Amino acid sequence: MKIQSFLLGLCGLMLVGCQATGADTEEKSHVVTDFAEREVSFNNEPERIAVLGNGELDIVYALGKNVIGRPSSQDVPVVQEAVEAEQVGSYHEVDTERLTLAQPDVVFANDPMNQKDLSAIEGTGAEVVLTKANAIEDIKDQISLIGEVVQEEASANHLIDEVELVEAEMKNEPLHKETKALLIYGAPGSNLVALPNSLSGDILEAAGGLNIAADFDQLQDYPQYAALSPERIIQADPDIVFFMAHGDPSAIEESFVQEMAQHAGWSQLPAVKEGNMDVLPADLFGTNPGSRITEAISYMRERLEEVHSE
């Protein structure tokens, strides 16, 4: 009887131990919901991080982490510390071979552009978290999500507070005079007009400017942009024209000016006469600036204020 009691007690202890181990494993499982409403699980905090966009790159470093994989680019990345990281492609073209070599635990990619690449990226052994940035609110949500994934929620909340502080300052101190602006985005020979529902359009609104393209028809394939309409632009008479691009924005300005010079009335616009045509910094406006969105808003406000003070 004593032996039987001992064995029963031992089995009971083993059972409790197994249950405790299972509970510990369950507690370690960390689940996040990304921008595509996908639930992504992590058993441990991801240490090897790869990103396909400069915005996510900036946010990861702003949260005190680093990456082993960064966007492929001929240009120096926004975050200098990431120069030596493996170049693993972009939203447009994922380099799965280099991702496999880098062996990331997690890859931050774009929704919806990288939906088609999910299987290929996951095939490298990494979890995929999809995000996007078509508005300032999206960037704040990106910061929150990435902070949740890398378990730096407090730092993420601090960054979000800084963004909201700048937004509040802009609202509490509106421009003294209405300033109409035109946002041109693209490449030589293919210029588009940024609409209010684009990230740059949202930055313009946050800075207190008025987008003259608010009622332009959006493009089917690029709903944040509209086709260039010289007649409507001349009629709207913007106070300032902003140029932005992934590459050299000055080339965009030259292409746009050449195109517009062919239309009567362009040279008579005050924005043209007074030289209110501004090439926006590519690291703040040619791509998602990440946590540096505060700098982008402040830069835009400064230029809008200069229009009527010159």
Report the predicted TM-score, pTM, of the whole model to 2 decimal places: 0.87
CATH 1.10.10.10 is the classification of domain 174-307: no
Judge whether residue 9 has pLDDT over 80.
Answer: no
Specify the pLDDT at position 18.
46
List the chain domain ranges: 29-169, 174-307
State the Cα–Cα distance between residues 101 and 1, nearest whole angstrom: 61
HEC string of 2-54 equals HHHHHHHHHHHHHHHHHHHHHHHHHHHCEEEECCCCCEEEECCCCCCEEECCH
Which sign does the torsion angle of CA 36, 79, 199, 153 carry? positive
Domains 29-169 and 174-307 share a fold: yes
Sheet arrangement for strand 106-110: 86-87, 69-70, 49-51, 106-110, 127-131
| Residues 249-280: tens digit of each pLDDT | 777 777 778 778 888 888 888 888 888 989 89
Q: Using alpha carbons, select from 135, 165, 130, 166 the residue that is nearest to residue 145.
A: 130
State the Cα–Cα distance between residues 42 and 65, nearest whole angstrom: 17
Q: Report the CATH fold assignment for 29-169.
A: Rossmann fold (3.40.50)
The counts of H helices and E strands in the chain are 12, 13
State the Cα–Cα distance between residues 45 and 66, nearest whole angstrom: 13
| Residues 109-160: tens digit of each pLDDT | 999 999 999 999 999 999 999 999 999 999 999 999 999 999 999 999 999 9
Count other Cβ atoms within 10 Å, centred on residue 29: 10
Residue 298 tokens read as 């402040």
Average pLDDT of the residues in 97-115: 96
Residue 45 dihedral angles phi and psi, to the nearest 5°: -65, 125
